[in-house]
Amino acid sequence: MSTGPNLLSGLRVIDLTRNLPGPFATRMLADLGASIIKIEPPQGDPARALGPLFQALNQNKDCRTLDLHQSGDLDQLRTWLENTDVLLEGFRPGVMASMGLDFDALKAINPRLVLCSITGYGQQGPWAHRAGHDLNYMAMSGALDQMRSAQGQPTLSNIQWGDLAGGSSMACIAILAAVFDVGRRGQGCHVDVSMTHGLWAHQVMPQSTGAMLAPMLGHLPGAREDLLNGALPCYNLYLTQDGRSLAVGALEHKFWKAACEVLQRPDWADQHWQRGLMPNSPESNAVRDQVAALIATQPLSHWVERFAEVDACVTPVLTLSEAQAHPLFVSAKTSAATTPTRQPWLITA
């Protein structure tokens, strides 16, 4: 599905990356109109073993094979780079230099080239050469420790936040900024994206709210102690009678007041952080427990029906299959198995 004007039409990108972070970054660039040449080794991208994943990441790309251990194939890559705007790579630090593709060498081929490197821990530093995957970047950034169940156990997210938020998204932003700068100065640059540091940067809320709450707690907030991870009655996940979950996101007082009316507990309306209820206080925790007890008396369908027409920021926690079939993602004229009716962005001229 077209997102509207091809804003990046004419942008030429060569992608040497594999698996998830780099390919998703260039998938987003391709969705916006960039021309992507995906270079794979003779054995192929490991994601090819997961057919639907490979297709999702690499549609609308020109997939080619080069053996970068062979001088002839390296020469072919250098020739293509003469007319390329962006080169994206995801090797460990030093690998590009070992192939004669360090940034100084690339500048000699094409002074306007933007080189973007995605690594786990950056090009330099004590962890630069360590292997890692999304789970490790989540763990080392402090993000994973905040994702704990009500019983206190760390949980695994099926969204690869380190790869996608810390890697793909940060790479896209930096690439587009660098390309913009090339248009002004006529010179390329090397963009170094560390997925762990990128994920750390995404924790702007816990770093900020944590500093506010630490004096009251005597320590930085952990799981279920911060404003948006479980300390507030008005912003929480609640189990229903049938073992499903209801997401109550009534962060502002007006939404909490509306939610309390549906819950038939108007006496809770002023038990809100914007009305002076302190997070993690015994009073706040007591309200949270009372809300949990009430919501647990009915199945999810009951609460979905009650909140259907109420603007209170209260929604069911959908399964993936339920989300695929929801009108938010699929129009009445299409099947739930089809691609969502719109991309994350919708652009009109």
* CATH number of domain containing 304: 3.30.1540.10
Label residue 4 by pLDDT band (50, 70, 90): low
Q: Does any domain span residue 347?
A: no
135 plus 190 within the same structural domain: yes
Mean of the pLDDT values across residues 188-209? 95
Mean of the pLDDT values across residues 331-339? 51
CA distances from 42 to 67, 73, 97, 99 (A): 6, 11, 21, 17
pLDDT of residue 208: 92
Instruction: Measure the CA–CA gap between 287 and 316, rounded to whole angstroms.
Output: 21
Instruction: Measure the CA–CA gap between 310 and 243, rounded to whole angstroms.
Output: 23
Q: Does any domain span residue 238?
A: yes
172 plus 271 within the same structural domain: no
Q: Does any domain span residue 346?
A: no
156 plus 87 within the same structural domain: yes
pLDDT digits (tens, 9 = 90+) for 47-105: 999 999 999 999 899 999 999 999 999 999 999 999 999 999 999 999 999 999 999 99
Domain containing 228 equals: 224-317
Please provide residue 198's backbone torsions phi and psi, each rounded to the nearest 5 degrees: -65, -40
Q: Does any domain span residue 55?
A: yes
163 plus 18 within the same structural domain: yes
Mean of the pLDDT values across residues 18-25? 96
Q: Which 3 state secondary structure label does DSSP give 57?
A: helix
Mean of the pLDDT values across residues 320-346? 72
**Strand order of the sheet with strand 114-119?**
62-65, 35-40, 12-15, 86-89, 114-119, 190-194
38 plus 113 within the same structural domain: yes
Contacts of 158 (CB under 8 A, 6+ apart): none
pLDDT of residue 3: 55
Tell me 268's DSSP state: G
pLDDT of residue 183: 96
Mean of the pLDDT values across residues 183-204? 96
Label residue 1 by pLDDT band (50, 70, 90): very low
pLDDT digits (tens, 9 = 90+) for 201-259: 999 999 999 899 999 999 988 888 899 999 999 999 999 999 999 999 999 999 999 99
Quick check: is 163 catalytic? yes
pLDDT digits (tens, 9 = 90+) for 289-316: 999 999 999 999 999 999 999 999 999 9
Number of domains in the chain: 2
261 plus 141 within the same structural domain: no
53 plus 171 within the same structural domain: yes
Q: Which of 104, 163, 181, 267 is catalytic?
A: 163
Q: Does any domain span residue 333?
A: no
**Percent of the residues in the chain that have a pLDDT greater than 90, as a whole number:** 85
